[in-house]
Structure formats: C-alpha cells, structure tokens
Amino acid sequence: MTSSLNDAQALLGHRFADEKMLTEALTHRSAAGAKGAGSNERLEFIGDRVLGLVVAEWLIEKFPAEREGELGPRLAALVSKPALAAVAETNGLAALLSVAPGESKRGVRDQPTVLADALEAIIGALYLDAGLAPARDFVRRMLADRLDRQFLPPKDPKTGLQEWALKRALALPLYELVEQSGPPHAPHFIIRVTVGDASATGAGPSKRAAEQAAAAALQGLLPA
C-alpha cells in the first residue's frame, strides 16, 4: 500500500500527517472490515460536501453575472458521477484503490461509481488532514479543463429533450414508470420516456434520476 500512498500523495500535492486517513480513502468497501468498517464511505460523505462547496465558490467567482438558475446546471455537471469518474480514470486512481481480490477480478475498481466515490473520498481526506485551501487547490486543478469547456451553462437531459421536442412542434416528453424494485433504503426505478415515435428507458435510485437517465438515452438516439 506504501507505493499507492506515495502516488496518491503526489496526485494530491500533499504529504499527509495522518496517512491512515488516506489509506481509508483508498479502501473500497469490499476490502474493509465487517459492515464496511474502515472503508472510504465516510470520507466520501464529507468529500462530496467539500467538493460541492469548492465548486460552488469557484463558479460564483468565475461567472459573477450568472444567476442561480444558470450556476446550478454548471455545478451539477462538474460534480456528477460521470464527470468525477472520468477525472479519476484520467489520473490513474483505479490503480491506487484497495479492493478485495474477487471484486478486483470482476472489474470493480474500474466501475464509474467506485471511481467517483474514491475521488470524493480522497478530497474528504485531504480536507480533514490539511484544511480547505489544499482541497480547493486540488479540486480546481482536477476540474479546470472541464470548467473551461463550459462556455454556456449545460442543460440537464430533461430540459434538453423538452426543448428538442418543442422546436419540432411535438408533444412534450411523456415519462412512464416501468418498474420499481429494491428495498425502501435502496430503491431502483426504471422509467420510459417517449417523444413522438421514439422512446428509451433509464434507471436510477430515484424517479428523477431515472427520468434524467431516460432523457439522456433518448437524446442519444435522436437527430441533432
């Protein structure tokens, strides 16, 4: 793990006073103790909040004339799981994670959710060990290219699909619940969206997330 710790500290640009915290941030639940004790889930929890604060502060600074309605989509795009997973993959975070051998063979360390969670966890660890300023510097360095590409506020998939339909004088997208499963604490929804003669489905842990996934899927099928 020493090599991974050194590589992680080089990536973060910080030498940890408490390396156990960084070790925890790099430990997937499968490699932790009973009930996930010692995994990176707790650090992911705080890292998510630090990330949101830092990016919100950054957007206020970079786009002083924009209102909440424009800043919100920018924030959502920058801190989304796909965006964070891409950043983690680009920076080799998968190779630094501690994962149970069986889960590693199944490719768990390369799953987008696992990578995104790990990135949030190391942000949380950096914040707790060094404070907000180093965490801010790291986040800005990791997301600078993505923010620079945001010339206009991004639109969420549902908004984009609705505008596509309106431009073509079609009825507004129709969302239908196809399936709901899972326990109350971890529900799973499948939603179908239809515009004209085209339809697609999406899944997620909430109806809204599933609707967004369905809208994104349908937009990928429709002509520009």
| Residues annotated as part of the active site | 48, 120
**Residue 112 and residue 126: Cα distance in Å, rounded?**
21
Residue 10: C-alpha distances to residues 13, 41, 93 (Å): 5, 22, 12
DSSP 108-150: GGG-HHHHHHHHHHHHHHHHHHH-HHHHHHHHHHHHHHHHHT-
Instruction: Give bridge partners of residue 27 from the DSSP assignment.
Output: 98
Contacts of 118 (CB under 8 A, 6+ apart): 25, 26, 28, 40, 44, 88, 93, 97
**Residue 108 and residue 50: Cα distance in Å, rounded?**
25
Q: Which residue has the tokens 């604490």?
A: 185
Phi, psi of 184 (to 5 degrees): -55, -35
